[in-house]
């Protein structure tokens, strides 16, 4: 892939993840090309790639929009994540050993719990990526890649309060304990409940926003 296409892809993806391009917003090639500083051809290629990754949807008239999933769609995303990341955590507990637990504990120890969303997102991405890598399955990593990078992960973190940040970090610490002890089922259980709790945080925020409208 050309550097222009990579630039277009990373540029649009970043604008979606940070909320600059809102769910449901139309993506106009000419405007995006001007904003990112590339021609329309790499923008078109990037939009196709982002569509395949569920960041973008295309209408019958071939117009592109930032994906705007329903609560039911998002529930399915989190359900699939819980299944697959639960399995990843179980494998990591079985094959990762003390070395993986030590790397994870270092990530958790560096994390702040003051409610800094960007810092939390960096910590969260590093922590989950380390577990997926520690599971030692390229097939599983490929399947999870699209799910864990979805904008909804970022949107959920942005409605966390201080207590929810601290709860998430507590669950990360418990996952480290499970992996350190090599307890696959404990690790699977913690990861599954960790992800399901995150879904319900998003669901409650979505319902509150709907009541305000």
Q: Note the pLDDT of residue 120.
A: 81
- Residue 204's pLDDT is 80
CATH class of 71-212: mainly alpha
pLDDT at 105: 95
Enumerate residue ranges in the chain where pLDDT < 50: 1
**Non-local CB neighbours of 193 within 8 Å, separated by 6+ positions:** 171
Tens digits of per-residue pLDDT, 1-52? Answer: 468 989 999 999 989 877 788 888 999 999 999 999 999 999 999 999 999 8
- What local confidence, expressed as pLDDT, does residue 103 receive? 96
- Tell me the CATH number for domain 3-66: 1.10.10.10
d(CA 172, CA 123): 10
Predicted pLDDT of residue 162: 82
For residue 10, how many other CB atoms are within 10 A of its CB? Answer: 12
For the chain, give every domain's residue range: 3-66, 71-212
User: Structure pTM?
Assistant: 0.77
């Amino acid at each position: 892939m050309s550097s222009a296409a990579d630039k277009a892809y990373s540029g649009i993806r970043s604008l979606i993840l940070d909320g600059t391009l809102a769910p449901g917003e139309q993506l106009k090639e000419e405007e995006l090309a001007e904003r990112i500083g590339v021609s329309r051809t790499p923008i078109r290629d990037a939009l196709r790639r982002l569509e395949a990754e569920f960041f973008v949807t295309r209408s019958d008239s071939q117009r592109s929009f930032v994906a705007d999933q329903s609560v039911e769609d998002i529930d399915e995303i989190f359900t699939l994540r819980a299944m697959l990341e639960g399995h990843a955590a179980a494998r990591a507990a079985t094959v990762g050993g003390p070395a993986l637990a030590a790397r994870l504990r270092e990530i958790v120890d560096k994390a702040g719990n003051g409610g800094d969303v960007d810092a939390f997102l960096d910590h969260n991405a590093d922590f989950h990526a380390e577990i997926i890598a520690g599971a030692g399955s390229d097939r599983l990593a490929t399947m999870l890649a699209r799910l864990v990078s979805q904008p909804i992960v970022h949107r959920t973190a942005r409605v966390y309060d201080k207590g929810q940040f601290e709860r998430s970090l507590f669950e990360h610490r418990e996952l480290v304990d499970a992996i350190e002890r090599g307890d696959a089922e404990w690790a699977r259980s913690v990861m599954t409940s960790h992800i399901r709790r995150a879904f319900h945080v998003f669901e409650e925020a979505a319902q509150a926003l709907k009541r305000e409208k």
